Structure 1
Amino acid sequence: MSGRHHDHAHSLADDLKVMETMMARRRALKWFAGAGTAAMVAGCGGSDAASGSVAVVSGATASATPTPTPTATPTPTASSTTMTCIADPAETAGPYPGDGTNTASGATSNVLNVSGVVRSDIRPSFISTTTVATGVLVKITLTLVDVNATCAPLAGYAVYLWQCDRQGLYSLYTAPAESYLRGVQVTDANGQVTFTTIFPGCYEGRWPHMHFEVFSSLSNALSGRYAVLTSQMAMPSAICSTVYADATTYPSSASKFARITLSSDGIFGDNTAAQVAQQTPTFSGSVEAGYTATALIGIAR
């Protein structure tokens, strides 16, 4: 009993010595713990630790530090970091596809079997005239991806793109003598095609848009059959307002655009917010210099 009482009867000097000893011991333990952790990390690192890379699944390139999956559509390139993709909804080809599937004014138009339809610059007519469609320049790159294979790019697919001109007219139909603003391209190794075109005008009752059909091969596209997807792209609202401010180049587009909304549009109005977001290309540039646009096209194979 007296022994335990004696242990607690320290002077201040004794307590200070004990405290110094304890602090020194804690520093030593902390150092050994840190050294042990470093040794364990070094022992478990393997080749990935040596290269400083971490494998990222879902069709992404290697990244040194994990990044959150973006909620917005990323800039579509084959070397993009992790990205999400959804299947684009199927939409009507409309009354003016020019792909041999419909008859208008007693005639069936099919540019897909006409020599010269495979081209990147779709502004000139190429059948009976050489008229060039005028308007604000747009270079649009579409990236086709397989939504069932972690957004892997789809190479060797054919895309047929068509649209109205700056006055809201379609070649072969409401502009019957012309064949402009229609063309086919084949996706490269990155799943990409690029078209040079113009910003489409706005016509009554429809949100400004571009049409496209996707085929699994060029031969299928040129036959006008076996499209794996027929859909449309919605032009961004802010760009529409900017472009249509020039009433000389785009006569009446501004007033018609003021009477339509995405929710009231008969094509885009019933789509989800995610679908509309993917159907809306990303634009950069200006009216004066022209625009560059990109869009991701999700295919469910």
Structure 2
Amino acid sequence: MGTPPPHAATPTLPPTYEGRALPRPDEEVVDQGLRFDVDTLLSRRRMLAFLGIGSATLGLAACGAGPGSSAASTSSSAASSAAAGTGSEIPEETAGPYPGDGSNGPNVLEESGIVRSDIRSSFGEMSGTAEGVPMTLELSIADLANGGIPFEGVAVYVWHCTREGGYSLYSDGITDQNYLRGVQVADASGTVRFTSVFPACYDGRWPHIHFEVYPDQAGITDSANVIATSQVALPQDVCATVYAEEGYEASVSNLSGVSLSGDNVFGDDGGASQLATVTGNVRSGYTVTLPVRIDTTTTPTGGGTGGDGAPSGAPGGGNPGGPPR
């Protein structure tokens, strides 16, 4: 018998990486050249975009940074910082005719005792307590001029109307009260908290809470030091629930006659960045939260005592003793 012919040799396939042939088969993957590296990066970006994963993570992978590397740690910190500063600066709004900051009549910010967390009762030489559904207000202040970090140390002055729709120091019957006004200094997380009562909806305005931000506690006695003036909008469903409670009767019809889109303060954008998140119930109370982003490199354009409407029975702006408007 003759010798059987030898089997045909199996062809050798060129080495590949992620399904692509290596242009330099004898070299390591990291030594395939710039064009190959760029193609690899683009290919991974397309895949991660499909999966919904950010390209920042991809950049670290392409640079060879492992999960425990300093580069990965830096990326995590940067992401956290970016998250804290996400969003635009809160809109500047009017302080309205009842600020109590000295810009239109009385200046409660000069009074000893104004720095407090529970603002339901009057203080100093005044006495009295505002009634209503309990509310905790939490504002988280971010410093956009410094990458959105918590704005520790700023002083936040908050004020709002009673459940009947009046403002202490200004409205008929409560000019001898200074409740529902107070200042807190932001903690390390940039947060201030106030214990209060849920405000009414008075004729012509969407339910809201006023606030001013000052650089520090020492500067609160002069409204010229304000670095931001704005308002918190309250959600309609929560307002409707609260206004079914005793003492809020007038707010039911007032709420039915207004809208966020038609409000003279929130109407330009429907309160997009001023609409609070609210949790809780009428029995245990509500917690109202809002992130407040401030850019101190821009010039404040809010403030002033006009354009906010006036609750019935309260004097108008610019003249503390003037007629309602």
TM over 0.5, shorter chain = yes
Q: Provide closer, same or farther for how the CA distance between residues 29 and 267 of structure 1 changes in structure 2, counting only shifts above 3 A.
A: closer
Paired position in structure 2 for 1:6: none
- Counterpart residue type for residue 280 of structure 2: G
* TM-score in terms of structure 2 length: 0.69
How far is 1:257 from its partner? 0.3
Q: Which residue of 2 aligns with 1:134?
A: 131
Q: Within the alignment, does 1:56 sit opposite 2:68 as a pair?
A: no
2:305 matched residue in structure 1: none
Q: Which amino acid aligns with 1:243?
A: V
Partner of 1:290: 285
SS of the residue aligned with 1:148? helix
- 8 Å contact kept, 1:58–1:150: no
C-alpha distance in structure 2 between counterparts of 1:196 and 1:252, whole Å: 23
- 130-139 or 156-165, which moves further after superposition? 130-139
Whole-angstrom distance in 2 between the partners of 1:96 and 1:202: 15
Q: 1:218-239, CA deviations, whole angstroms, 9 ceiling, x for partnerless residues?
A: 1111334311111111111121
**Are 2:122 and 1:143 equivalent residues in the alignment?**
no
TM-fit CA distance, 1:30: 7.8
Q: 2:66 & 2:267 partners in 1: Cα distance?
A: 51
Give the structure 1 partner of residue 273 of structure 2. Answer: 278
> Relative to structure 1, is the Cα distance of residues 37 and 223 closer, same or farther in structure 2, using a 3 angstrom cutoff?
same
Measured at CA, do residues 27 and 296 of structure 1 come closer, stay the same or move farther in structure 2, by a change above 3 Å? same
Deviations 1:60-101 (A, max 9, x none): 43xxxxxxxxxxxxxxxxx89465121112111111111111
RMSD (Å), alpha carbons: 3.3
**Distance in 1 between the 2:290 and 2:17 partners?**
54
- 8 Å contact kept, 1:58–1:151: no
Identity %: 42
Partner of 2:153: 156
**1:125: which partner in 2?**
122
Residues 27 and 256 of structure 1, relative CA distance in 2, 3 Å threshold? same
Q: State the match for 1:76 in structure 2.
A: none
Structure 1 residue 28, shift from structure 2 partner: 8.9
The answer to whether structure 1 residue 88 and structure 2 residue 90 are counterparts is yes
Relative distance call for 1:89 and 1:46 in structure 2 (3 A) is closer
Matched-pair contact (CA < 8 Å) for 2:84–2:142: no
Q: Distance in 1 between matches of 2:164 and 2:251?
A: 7
Which whole-Å CA distance do the structure 1 matches of 2:147 and 2:282 have between them? 36
- Is the Cα contact below 8 Å between 1:59 and 1:82 reproduced in 2? no
* 8 Å CA contact retained: 1:58, 1:82: no
Matches within 5 A, 1:185-200: 185-200=184-199
Matched, 1:242 2:244: no
User: Structure 2: which amino acid aligns with 1:254?
Assistant: V
Q: Do residues 221 (structure 1) and 220 (structure 2) align?
A: yes
User: What letter is aligned with 2:229?
Assistant: T
Q: 1:29 to 1:48 in 2, by over 3 A?
A: closer
**Aligned-partner residue type, residue 249 of structure 1:** G
Q: Match of 1:255?
A: 253
Q: Distance in 1 between matches of 2:110 and 2:242?
A: 33
C-alpha separation in 2, matches of 1:267 and 1:82 = 26
Query: Which among 105, 109, 112 is matched to residue 112 of structure 1?
Result: 109
Letter in 2 for 1:289: S
Q: What is the alpha-carbon distance in structure 2 between the residues aligned to residue 180 and residue 142 of structure 1?
A: 19
Is 1:267 the equivalent of 2:262? no
- Structure 2 CA distance, aligned partners of 1:282 and 1:122? 21
Provide the TM-score with structure 1 as the length reference: 0.74
What secondary structure sits across from 1:168 in the alignment?
coil
Q: What is the alpha-carbon distance in structure 1 between the residues aligned to residue 290 and residue 184 of structure 2?
A: 15
5+ long unaligned stretches in structure 1: 1-13, 62-78, 103-107
Give the counterpart letter for 1:146 in structure 2: D
The alignment covers a number of residue pairs equal to 257
Q: Name the structure 1 match of 2:101.
A: 99
Shift of 1:56: 3.4
Equivalent position of 2:175 in the other structure: 176
